[in-house]
Amino acid sequence: NAGVTQTPKFRVLKTGQSMTLLCAQDMNHEYMYWYRQDPGMGLRLIHYSVGEGTTAKGEVPDGYNVSRLKKQNFLLGLESAAPSQTSVYFCASSYKGFGNQPQHFGDGTRLSIL
Amino acid sequence: ILNVEQSPQSLHVQEGDSTNFTCSFPSSNFYALHWYRWETAKSPEALFVMTLNGDEKKKGRISATLNTKEGYSYLYIKGSQPEDSATYLCASGNAGGTSYGKLTFGQGTILTVHP
């Protein structure tokens, strides 16, 4: 069982470059989330999706865009990377429900912006 | 935005000790409280999801309680083992039409169990 798969696992970018992080889940989950994790801070929600074709802003959406063209995939884009976006990014998914379903996490993508 | 706080930030115990951590969350519009275990170099893994006041959950040596009226949850580990060393995260889910399963995470409690 693959669960939630994130690619790539590591990436180094230069300021101003763009990239896309891919999250794929094989559990037929409706809800998908992108978080960032920084030292001394909890997981912070960037964007989320409640189903194919939907996206919504989370707590820290600035500088990021997302797309959910297929139910199993949730893409996180950085249009013009900034050093403040250096972080570990986690994708998660859940079956559905208003917070009463556990979230399943990927292994994370470590992103460094120079 | 909910404010979820965990204490202590870190904890060192000896193998065999029992220990507990606290998660505090706003009690208004509460819907669900999650506990996750996060081992180094791995991804967070769900331990418990609790929704009802007074709820108690147990998984092996780990258990959790929930008080939604006063806004806190305790996680207990009985007879800690070195393999219990991890960061334990709690997260609160809010009720309301725009909640969509969104969780607000605490900063975590880092547990180190020494042999």
pLDDT score for B1: 44
Does residue B18 have a pLDDT over 90?
yes
Tokens of A47: 């964007």
B77 in contact with A at a CB cutoff of 8 Å?
no
Alpha-carbon span B27 to B53, nearest angstrom: 11
| A94, A98, A108 ranked by CB distance to B43: nearest | A108
Segment B46-79, tens digit of pLDDT = 999 999 999 999 999 999 999 999 999 999 999 9
Segment A18-53, tens digit of pLDDT = 999 999 999 999 999 999 999 888 899 999 999 999
Tokens of A29: 């989950």
Contact B90, B23 (CB under 8 A): yes
Which residues 39-68 of B have a C-beta within 8 angstroms of A? 42-46, 49, 51
Min Cα separation B108/chain A (Å): 7
pLDDT score for B39: 94
Structure-model confidence comparison of residues A98 and B27, the more confident one: B27
pLDDT score for A91: 97
Average pLDDT of chain B?
91
Alpha-carbon span A110 to A87, nearest angstrom: 6
Contact yes or no for A105 and B107 at CB 8 A:
no
What three-state secondary structure class fits B17?
A: coil
Q: Which amino acid is at A102?
A: P
Contact yes or no for B101 and A42 at CB 8 A:
no
Segment A52-88, tens digit of pLDDT = 999 999 999 999 999 999 999 999 999 999 999 999 9
